Amino acid sequence: MADTMTALESQADLSAEIEDTAATWATAREPEFQPRRDYPPYRSTLLRHPTKDLFQVDPEGVELFAPAFGQRDVAPLEADLTIQRGGEPLGERMVVTGRVVDGDGRPVRHQLVEVWQANAGGRYVHQRDQHPAPLDPNFTGMGRTLTDADGVYRFTTVKPGPYPWKNHHNAWRPAHIHFSLFGTDFTQRLVTQMYFPGDPLFALDPIYQSIVDPAARERLVATYDHDVTTHEWATGYRWDIVLTGAHRTPVETGEDPA
């Protein structure tokens, strides 16, 4: 594809490619549970996905250089992203909770869950994020927790805003929260994204659409839960994470700063 990294292509051009890919998949009707590594509408997958054969490494050797996590390393207050600075962050305060389970529905206990996200204006606290949206001095956008004995995690945060990115002209990412989960060691890390229901940017976003199977794609969308919502304090969303099996939550297959 000529000039695949250009930032001047229109949303209409990208949407047409997204629709063509979806139509091709609909004809084949083969289940796809994960994002495609090479998804042309997501231009930088050409540079991100692996192009070399896998290389066997010594897992014990890798773990010598990896961090070690335990319950004493994670403080309960780290799960509240609204109290990490000297004041209240701006935006819609909300609670995000759910269960981490295996393919048989059994809870994954004491699992380290990390999150990071943009602020309510759609900007990350990161030197590479320079788009003209305000930084919130009272919001870092990062938190972590451990699942309990029933596999439940819970975060208090603010709803992130959508933000522009450089995939094509007038490209915007739907609001989302990044999730990272560790297994029993650092080499078992999984990374994924949680989205919010009814976002009008879903159909326009090549990253979300890189999961061409609609049923798998929907597993990335949280559900508003009024029972999680707190009176006069925070709205509530529920999002379960399934690690294995046919209904597993789609995870990222490569680095994705967006």
**Does 231 qualify as catalytic in the annotation?**
no
Residue 137 DSSP symbol: T
Residue 208 DSSP symbol: H
d(CA 65, CA 221): 35
- Count of C-beta atoms within a 10 Å radius of residue 232: 5
176 in Cβ contact with 194 (< 8 Å): yes
Q: Which of 163, 195, 208, 237 is catalytic?
A: 163
Q: Which of 39, 42, 124, 195 is catalytic?
A: 124
**Does 176 qualify as catalytic in the annotation?**
yes
Task: Find, among 251, 144, 142, 133, the residue nearest to 193 by Cα.
Answer: 251
Task: Find, among 90, 93, 108, 92, the residue nearest to 147 by Cα.
Answer: 108
Q: For residue 8, what are the CA distances in angstroms to 155, 199, 206?
A: 38, 24, 15
**Does 168 qualify as catalytic in the annotation?**
no
Token digits for 30? 């083969």
**Does 173 qualify as catalytic in the annotation?**
yes
Q: Which of 93, 173, 217, 219 is catalytic?
A: 173
**Does 85 qualify as catalytic in the annotation?**
no
* Percent helix / strand / coil, the chain, rounded to 5: 20, 20, 60
Q: For residue 147, what are the CA distances in angstroms to 71, 101, 182, 250?
A: 10, 10, 11, 19
251 in Cβ contact with 181 (< 8 Å): no
Q: Which of 48, 99, 178, 217 is catalytic?
A: 178
Q: Which residues are catalytic?
A: 124, 163, 173, 176, 178
